[in-house]
Structure 1
Amino acid sequence: MADSPSFEVIVLGPTGGPCEDRTTGLLVRTKSTNWSPGSIVAVDAGTMLAGIIRILKPHFPSSNSKTSRANPVLKEGPMKGLNLPFVTAEANAAYVFRELIGAFLITHPHLDHVSGLAINTPIIEAGSGPKPVAALPSVLAAIKNHVFNDVIWPNLSDEDGGAGLLTYQRLVEGGNPRFGNGESRGYVRACQGIMTKCLSVSHGRCKQRYHPESGVHHRVGSAVFNHGEPRLLRPRAISVDQPSEGYYSPARSPRLIPGEPMLATVESSAFFLRDHESGNEIIVFGDVEPDSISLEPRNRRVWETAAPKIANGKLRTIFIECSYTDSIDDVYLYGHLCPRHLVAELTVLADLVMYSRDNQYAGTDRKRKRPILGESLLDENSPRNKRTLSSSSGKARSSSSRGPYNEPLDGLSDLYTFEEFDPPDPTRWATVETPPLAGLSIYIIHIKETLKDDGSPGPRIIQELNDHSDAVRLGCSFSLPNTSEAISC
């Protein structure tokens, strides 16, 4: 493990609503850079300027004070070390937004992740050049067609005759292999000192009625009836290498379920952020659902990418949502996680970390069966494995089901439809000296506040996570970041 932290993450908004002033927004910078222009990357922007002002306000006696600055550099607080070129919190917050934030990484286009970006963008000065907004093509298409479209909000982008304050950077899903070498292969520049790679995850399902690239109102990837016969539309996945031609991407394919309406996966993202100097990384998830109930399970690919980095100590922090307590039924998750499902996902990650450790210390000569998807949750003696494999509607699925990247699922997709939670085997890592996820810090974001007299559900979510984790001996720690908190990781 590295001895010193490489990143500082400032939490502007840690919740998923309903209060609009604390919705998802993180500022990330590397410890190897100072507070210099372009040294911060914002991951999501549900809350942005309001959150920065909230951080700076305590250091200014009055927002109307015009007195000279006695302390031009912040001596304390989440933005300690920041130079203050102006005399009010508001003016300095605008400075941070305009000059210090080098780019916005958007996980998905829901309002609680982009509303701050829309409302705040007009303060960007055209003379400083357009601010990059980087995301998967489908995410940018939704922002372009349904936010910055001169109807919902002015077109402030540099496309289609807009004002030129923003520029869209379409990321290659899974990383662009033309960039970087070795461990940094596929990563692209996010801001000064930070590289990023984006992987697609699933945020539930919907009946999409518009193509996510063109904005034409039909169901993307779903049945469009042509002379009474349904056909499949192939959604485009545009990369920076192919700006005008589409290609078929299994990660964005529709899922056809006999007897069910045509459904499409709501695409979200997980961003790997890499410190260019140390090579250390963190992961920031957008909204995400468990693979066990997803139309298109995609989380495993994130865990496969993360596992060797955790095993060698280069990845020690994950920011991930857990929106509800375990009291919620699966049918009401709406593309989110709760403690039982998050720990189930982390158990898959733990299997992969143990596999990586075995290879790391024993080399390739030691043969160990690579864990299959969800293996840690499926004891061969479990009653679940003795049930007839069927869908939740009672109709058997085809044994030729394939995963989101076109790999055979070996029949496991049939198990995803069971809604009950089978706890992992509590003796799985009982004899392991070091728990598989020891040293990994997991920060829980996007909690859905209930605004009831009994308080926030956050503490209960953490307790349930700890209970599930202790039962299987994962070894990781769970924390709730506070609004305006700076986290060193």
Structure 2
Amino acid sequence: MLNLVKTLVLFCALGLSTQALAAEKFWTVLPLGTSGGLAEGNMSCYLIAPKGSDKFIALDGGTVREGFYAAKKSGAFNKLALTDKKAALENPLSLIHAYLISHAHLDHIAGMIINSPEDTKKPILAQTNVINDLKDYIFNWRIFANFADQGTAPLLNKYEYWDMSHGRELPIPDTKMSVRIFPLSHVEHGASTAFLIHSDNHYALYLGDTGDDKPENSELLKQLWIEVAPLIKSKKLDGIFIESSYLNGRPDKLLFGHMTPSWLLHSLHELATITNPKDPKQSLKDLTIVVTHIKPEASLDGMKIVKEMKSQINALNDLGVKFVIPEQGNILEF
């Protein structure tokens, strides 16, 4: 008790508050790709690790090398806690200790595939249908050499498929993280995946492509929210990666398993109500929400959509969450 009092006195003397302790950031994220398509040099891929570690996992693998180029240009390699900066620059793929692939659409796997000849040995964690797609249609010696441990011979055994459909939490080799998966609806029931990453009593949740339950005629998001609500209540869930592909006004029949700002807030309201039915407007306050998969328009000014997306999302934010729109190559922490 005396030590706690001393700590609080010290914080007050430094002009800090107990909120500063609570706000200490745990996760380091390096976005290698952030857009939801068209921009082939900037597609879904996020490296994540506990702060102070350089043993990352990749959440999807749409763009890899171009993301590392952007990270070098932004100075990110000078800010990461690298044990061997020279080795990281010589082959940054060595920083990735596992790929977690939400689904096998090209904007989520292309970078991993193209970089596989120079990659280091590591597992690919996914649900059964995703592994089957990679095995049958990608790493099959017709589309690309089979760098995995299953499928069309000869097997190059660089990647080891881990089928996570059993739903159990498993540790990720050579990292301080473990993961559990949940199916998501993306046009088809269970076509996409959410990954719940766990390290030292902290959690981060990454959702691959998904639509809201209502237009998807699904309850998979609701089931996911029920699972993570206790982590939000106990302040163990530090942040959620979730998509908003299109701007408001797009007809539901043309969403193709994606979100708009309105549907995103609808989904978050569902989560808020499940988390605290008595006071949903406060239950997600200050939770970090990383907005992913924003689809650029066809014009060469297509990324101006990001500014409008931010405006629409902030205008609807009555939950007090912290929306973050990530930028390729720029570190974010939460």
Q: Same fold (TM over 0.5)?
A: yes
TM alignment of 1:207-218, pairs within 5 A? none
- The structure 1 residue matched to 2:305, chosen from 440, 446, 457, is 457
Match in the other structure for 1:196: 179
Paired amino acid for 1:85: K
- The structure 1 residue matched to 2:162, chosen from 169, 182, 193, is 169
SS at structure 1 position matched to 2:193: strand
Q: Is the 8 Å Cα contact of residues 12 and 26 (structure 1) preserved in structure 2?
A: yes
Match in the other structure for 2:327: 482
TM alignment of 1:68-79, pairs within 5 A? 75-76=78-79, 79=80
TM alignment of 1:74-473, pairs within 5 A? 75-76=78-79, 79=80, 81=82, 83-85=84-86, 92-93=88-89, 95-97=91-93, 99-124=94-119, 130-160=121-151, 161=153, 162-173=155-166, 175-176=167-168, 186-189=169-172, 191-205=174-188, 265=189, 267-275=191-199, 277=200, 279-355=201-277, 435-452=282-299, 453=301, 456-470=304-318
> What displacement does 1:56 show?
1.8
Equivalent residue pairs, number: 311
Q: Give 1 or 2: higher helix fraction.
A: 2
- Deviation by residue 1:197-222 (Cα, 9 ceiling, x = unmatched): 110000113xxxxxxxxxxxxxxxxx
Q: Are 1:41 and 2:36 counterparts?
A: no
Match in the other structure for 2:10: none
Q: Is the 8 Å Cα contact of residues 319 and 445 (structure 1) preserved in structure 2?
A: yes
> What displacement does 1:346 show?
0.7
2:291 and 2:39 map into 1 onto residues whose CA distance is 17
Q: Give 1 or 2: higher strand fraction.
A: 2
- Deviation by residue 1:388-438 (Cα, 9 ceiling, x = unmatched): xxxxxxxxxxxxxxxxxxxxxxxxxxxxxxxxxxxxxxxxx5xx8x71210
Q: Is the 8 Å Cα contact of residues 41 and 101 (structure 1) preserved in structure 2?
A: yes
Q: Is the 8 Å Cα contact of residues 296 and 302 (structure 2) preserved in structure 1?
A: no
> Using a 3 Å threshold, how does the CA distance of structure 1 residues 82 and 323 change in structure 2: closer, same or farther?
farther
Match in the other structure for 1:392: none
> What displacement does 1:451 show?
4.5
SS at structure 2 position matched to 1:447: coil
SS at structure 2 position matched to 1:122: helix
> What displacement does 1:95 show?
2.4
Q: Are 1:28 and 2:23 counterparts?
A: no
**Aligned-residue CA RMSD in angstroms?**
2.2
- Deviation by residue 1:182-211 (Cα, 9 ceiling, x = unmatched): xxxx34336511111110000113xxxxxx
Paired amino acid for 1:9: V
SS at structure 1 position matched to 2:276: helix
SS at structure 2 position matched to 1:457: helix
Match in the other structure for 2:68: 52
Q: Is the 8 Å Cα contact of residues 23 and 113 (structure 1) preserved in structure 2?
A: yes
TM-score normalised per structure 1: 0.60
Paired amino acid for 2:118: I
Identity %: 27
1:446 and 1:104 map into 2 onto residues whose CA distance is 18
2:329 and 2:282 map into 1 onto residues whose CA distance is 32
For structure 1, the residue ranges without an aligned partner over 5 or more in a row are 60-72, 87-91, 177-185, 206-264, 359-428
> What displacement does 1:324 show?
0.5
Q: Is the 8 Å Cα contact of residues 291 and 299 (structure 1) preserved in structure 2?
A: yes
Greater than 4 Å deviation, 4+ residue runs: none
1:29 and 1:115 map into 2 onto residues whose CA distance is 22
SS at structure 1 position matched to 2:187: strand
For structure 2, the residue ranges without an aligned partner over 5 or more in a row are 1-18
> Using a 3 Å threshold, how does the CA distance of structure 1 residues 454 and 56 change in structure 2: closer, same or farther?
closer
> Using a 3 Å threshold, how does the CA distance of structure 1 residues 58 and 331 change in structure 2: closer, same or farther?
closer
> What displacement does 1:462 show?
2.2
